[in-house]
Structure 1
């Protein structure tokens, strides 16, 4: 059976509405205009610190305010769960993968505390035997170290990585593992410009794709 590691935001869950909400609460405190949901999608992917940096730049807030705004943003993050939903077909796909004996994990650039909080809120945490956040190690994706750590925590077996972004594609490439690209998340580039083993738009396809990749290996 395989070890399958998933990205989180934009892959398994649509968390942008909640992240959008806390970003605009932070900006409201600064008496600044909020950012749009489209901007939120664009800023997600490289972790909370980069998100805050892009949010600041969009509103002309200086670098000297980064640490303070980051602290404010992260303080709100654990409670940013009420608007977040799993993508269609995710739960059924995870059920099938678990029933087939695969071991599942999370490797995300989201800080580990809000990662655990949102998965617990959605009652999805039981699917995963290991979770690695953007602050679990000294480095984060696209450095492959967190992905390697997630696979190591799952034991032995073939490795598959599932994600939605250019960051995930680079991480999978640098880790040297097959990458399954979910095309309906927060992708910023055309599919053909992102290195991937297979691409899919519907989670109902995922168990079959996993089986086919393992048979072909």
Structure 2
């Protein structure tokens, strides 16, 4: 079965504000105030918790790897308590998912967000049951850009890994699809915007209403 796998942060949903609020909880706890801006730093947010901590401490003038390690669990706990207050699905995302399923595609999620948090986000958005699989950063011993998580997401959704593609928004997603030798589709409406065009994916989409046709062409 042909399969479309989605990244989560910055691809299916705009999670940046809730992620940055979690990181700022860490900084405030250290007396540093809010070091990240929910709007201007959206692209940093979707690159992960450690990246947010690294950037914040850089702005504070003290990048201490040991402190990043100490604060990372604090960030995860803060995020787990408030995963979706400001998180929204990108326009047309679920219409595209349902159209793909109607067209005979399997669909799933492959993210570098810890699995439990990914489930919490999708549950909060009310869309978890729409996906045939969900692979997170800690589901397997490896994470993207290793191709194993993508392969597992396809297989658990009931699809054929060699008839699949990955929809994402970052170099990590591109490298993952290339590692498995399958097409990559990049969204231009995420925090990275049109900069994803520089990655030269197999296709770009500017709105989710384009995805069903693009997937059908790439996996024809």
Q: Distance in 1 between matches of 2:207 and 2:40?
A: 24
**Matched position secondary structure for 1:9:** coil
Structure-2 residue corresponding to 1:163: 168
TM, length-normalised to structure 2: 0.89
**43-52 or 200-209, which deviates more:** 43-52
How many residue pairs align between the two structures?
215
Q: How does 1:31-42 map to 2 (within 5 A)?
A: 31-34=31-34, 35-38=36-39, 40-42=41-43
Match of 2:195 among 190, 196, 203: 190
Q: Distance in 1 between matches of 2:59 and 2:140?
A: 28
Q: Distance in 2 between matches of 1:71 and 1:148?
A: 28
CA contact (8 A) 2:115 2:134 kept: yes
Deviations along 1:43-72, whole A, 9 cap, x unmatched?
234443343333333332522212220110
Match of 1:114 among 117, 135, 154: 117
Q: How large is the Cα RMSD of the aligned pairs?
A: 1.9
CA contact (8 A) 1:14 1:185 kept: yes
Structure 1 residues 38 and 213 mapped into 2: Cα distance closer, same or farther (>3 Å)?
same
**Displacement of 1:98 after TM fit?**
1.7
CA contact (8 A) 1:45 1:167 kept: no
**Matched position secondary structure for 2:154:** helix
**Displacement of 1:5 after TM fit?**
0.7
Extract unaligned runs of 5+ from structure 1: none
Structure 1 residues 46 and 145 mapped into 2: Cα distance closer, same or farther (>3 Å)?
farther
Match of 1:77 among 67, 76, 79: 79
CA contact (8 A) 2:166 2:183 kept: yes
Structure 1 residues 41 and 207 mapped into 2: Cα distance closer, same or farther (>3 Å)?
same
CA contact (8 A) 1:143 1:174 kept: yes
Q: Distance in 1 between matches of 2:203 and 2:215?
A: 10
Structure-1 residue corresponding to 2:15: 15
CA contact (8 A) 1:165 1:186 kept: no
**Matched position secondary structure for 1:190:** helix
CA contact (8 A) 1:46 1:167 kept: no
Deviations along 1:173-204, whole A, 9 cap, x unmatched?
12211111111113277334213111111001
